[in-house]
Amino acid sequence: MVRETRLTPESFVYPLFVCPGEGVRKEVSSMPGVFNLSVDEAVREAREAHSLGVPALILFGLPETKDEVATGAWADDGIVQRAARVIKQEVPEMLLVGDVCLCEYMSHGHCGIVKPSSPRPVGAAVATSPATGTEFEIVNDATLELLARTSVSLANAGIDVIAPSDMMDGRVAAIRKALDEAGLENTPILSYAAKFASAFYGPFREAADSAPQFGDRRSYQMDGANLREAMREIELDVEEGADMIMVKPAMPYLDVISAARERFDLPIAAYQVSGEYAMIEAAARNNWIDRERVMMESLISIRRAGASIILTYYAKDAAKLLG
Ligand SMILES: [Zn+2]
């Protein structure tokens, strides 16, 4: 009766990594218990999660091929589009969130279009490629067009919530406009509004095969030292039409979740990322910590900080414990 914060499976979003093939269930070595799943296996996971009371999935895709314009992200027969159609048919009550980014589908692994820098750069620097010595940069506005195209394609395939994670400037407005023009006015946007450039994403890049081939993402993701900048980024996304906002990672940024809760009245999501999961799993496997207790404590702390939606690899396991 006196407990201030409660954890329920209704707040969980369970991430799935969908890959080509059939009967594929390949464990991610740095994330024990997390798998690359072919569409048929993803349906099985969706069914199980649903039976445990988990109401939503977020889908990430591992395409057959990658290129310089992220075709796999926006193609009608893209891997996430195919998975969404089948899951919607087999488990219609499951809410599907579609991660919108290009890095998983780009041969270079960056979240946007990358071009060699001209003498007068138009975008944020990414890196100098060690092989050629050429400077590269992200081309923000051309990237927006691909993100918008991806969002419309996902929504048409049955994705209920569009979740842009790329951190390009102006992408929420561009996606909102494209969805509206396609007659998808009712598709909401969950924006990764405060996404920090974090080493905690390491294991995810193995899971989604999306590590940048050169340089890093610090020119478009946020500096972990900046709380005020995080608030400004969130505010911009709200102004552009975001319906829900996300802070990522969760544990090292609980103060950001809390500050966002104070300041904004939209639903707030937090992503307990791969590195947070991997640390708990590794310590538990060494019998250094009590896995179940640490898992539940980590989740309740995210709720206490103010997130009403938690994206977590523990969705199924925590839902089991919560009964
Ligand atoms: Zn990305």
What's the gap in Å between 102 CA and the centre of ligand 1? 6
What's the gap in Å between 111 CA and the centre of ligand 1? 4
- pLDDT-above-70 percentage for the chain: 95
Q: CA 70 to CA 141: how far, in whole Å?
A: 15
For 70-97, b/e burial (b = at least 16 CB within 10 A) is bebbbbeebbbbbbbbbbbebbeebebb
- Per-residue model confidence as pLDDT tens digits over 190-229: 999 999 999 999 999 888 888 888 888 887 889 999 999 9
The answer to whether residue 177 is catalytic is no
* CB-based neighbours (< 5 A) of ligand 1, an ion: 101, 103, 111
Q: Which two tokens mark 187?
A: 């598709």
What's the gap in Å between 305 CA and the centre of ligand 1? 26
Residue 272 — pLDDT band, cuts 50, 70, 90? Answer: very high
What's the gap in Å between 291 CA and the centre of ligand 1? 30
- Per-residue model confidence as pLDDT tens digits over 141-195: 999 999 999 999 999 999 999 999 998 999 999 999 999 999 999 999 999 999 9
3-state secondary structure of 96: strand
At 121 the pLDDT is 59
pTM of the model: 0.94
What's the gap in Å between 103 CA and the centre of ligand 1? 4
The answer to whether residue 88 is catalytic is no
Are 61 and 154 in contact, with CB atoms under 8 Å apart? no
What's the gap in Å between 246 CA and the centre of ligand 1? 15
Catalytic member of 66, 115, 177, 248: 248
Q: Over the Cα atoms of the chain, what is R_g?
A: 19
Residue 245 has pLDDT above 70, yes or no: yes
Q: Which two tokens mark 151?
A: 């969002």
At 210 the pLDDT is 85
